[in-house]
Structure formats: structure tokens, C-alpha cells
Amino acid sequence: MFVAKNAWAELRRHPWRTALMVIVSLLVTMWSVFGAAVMHEYHAAHGEGYEALKPQAVVRMTDTALSDRNGDDADWTKRYITWNEYNVLGAAAQAKQVQFDYSVVASVPVRSTDSFKAITTSATSGAGQNETGGDFTLTSFYNEAAAAANEYGSFKVVEGSKLNYQDVTARDVLISQELAKKNNLKVGSTITIGNPANAKTTYTFTVGGIYTYTSTPQGVQGDDAQFAKDNRNNVIYTSYYDFAASGLDTTE
């Protein structure tokens, strides 16, 4: 009590100094609160919240072009979008000083083999793999952002692990539950698929995970697909590194 009384007396003895101390303390407190608010807004403007608000564009063939697609006509591949065509878009954006991130989804049909068969139904065409390019579709993702733009729908891995987009030596793929059941496969099993243009060229991958779809985009095909490769349960997912390492990132 004695200490508090003396302190109060000292403050009253120098009122201007006391007032100045109070003002400085208030300014420091207000500046700290303001600084914290600024940092919060900065992180909100540049963090996950900002990323979620960034506009996205998906570049692919028009629905009209895809509706004309003949899945058993190899000449139709002349319509495939090439890297040169993508580069035109990128160069145009840069010329306008537009800053952007990009990702890639690339797919090709691949052949079934004696040890790995696709799901077929009464709706499946009897066209051979020399005409269709294969009974599966091998789809590759550059990163998680590419997987989020999957045209067959979002999916989750129910067994095993997700794709590894950093390991360029990985040879893992994801297959559907239905495909795993048909071929009696599990995580750790190996599959062999064939090149669409040359049946003698094959690729071997390890089943790193088994997936199931969690959404169904409009127009996506399942058991009603005319060609087995268009049944989304026959889609095999891998990383773009594996895809490119196999020499499949080409319109040829």
C-alpha cells in the first residue's frame, strides 16, 4: 500500500510527464493492434483464402468437337490439342502481363493385356484395340490442382496412397475399386498395359492405391460407355512424370 501511495504521489507531482506516458502507451497499443490487423489481412489476401478465390480456366476441346469424336478412328487423333497450341495461349497471356500458374492433365488410351482386363458391359462395342487404341484410358496429373480438374469426377483413395507428384522415379498408378475386383488386384500388385499404337510396347506399373469416385460430372460415362476406354472405372491415374517417362506425352 505504501509503494502504491508513493507511486500515485509521484504521478501527481509530474502531470504532464504522466499524460505523455499515457499517450505514448495508448499509441503503442493502438499501433500493435493495427499491425496485427494488417498482418491478418495480408495473410488473408495472399494465403489459402486468396488461392481459393483465384479465377481458373480449363482449356480443352469444345463439347461440340468431343461429340464428333470417333473412338475407333485413329485419324481423329489429328484433332488432339498440342503443346504448340497451349503455348500460343501462354504467350498471349504473358504479352498482356497476366501472371498465372498452370497445371496439366494428359491422357491416352492404352491396351489391355492377357493379365489385365478392362471392365466391359452389354453396351461395350466389339471394336478391337487396333481401332480404339486400347480398352483403358491412362490419365496423368501434373499436381493436385490438375487432379481437382479431373473431367471424370473427383475421387478419393480408399486403399493405399495418393499419387506422388514429386518423386520422378515412382511407377505407381491408381485403379478403381471395380477394376481391382475384376482383376483380383490389391495395393502392391503390378499391372501391364500396352502402347496404343504398338501392341508390342508395354509398360509395367505398381498399384499404389485404389480409388472410388465422389462426384459425377454431367455427361461422364460409366457402364453405358460405347468403348471400354470411356468407362470412367477403366481410367488409370498416374503422375505426369510417369506418363512422360513412358514417352506418352505426344500426339503421335
Which pLDDT score is estimated for 114? Answer: 95
One-letter amino acid for residue 222 of the chain: G
What's the pLDDT tens digit per position in 138-182? 999 999 999 988 999 999 999 999 999 988 888 999 999 999 999
Q: What's the rounded Cα separation, in Å, for the pair 28 and 107?
A: 59
Summarised one tens digit per residue, pLDDT across range 92-147 is 988 999 888 888 899 999 999 999 999 999 999 999 999 999 999 999 999 999 99
Band of the pLDDT at 208, cuts 50, 70, 90?
A: very high
Return the pLDDT at 167.
Answer: 86
Instruction: Give the mean pLDDT of 28-38.
Output: 64
9-30 per-position pLDDT tens digit: 554 565 656 565 666 666 666 6
Q: What's the pLDDT score for residue 25? A: 67
State CA 199 to chain mean position distance: 29
How many whole angstroms separate alpha carbon 189 and alpha carbon 209? 10
Mean pLDDT of 230-234: 97
Highest mean pLDDT: which of 6-15, 76-85, 206-215? 206-215
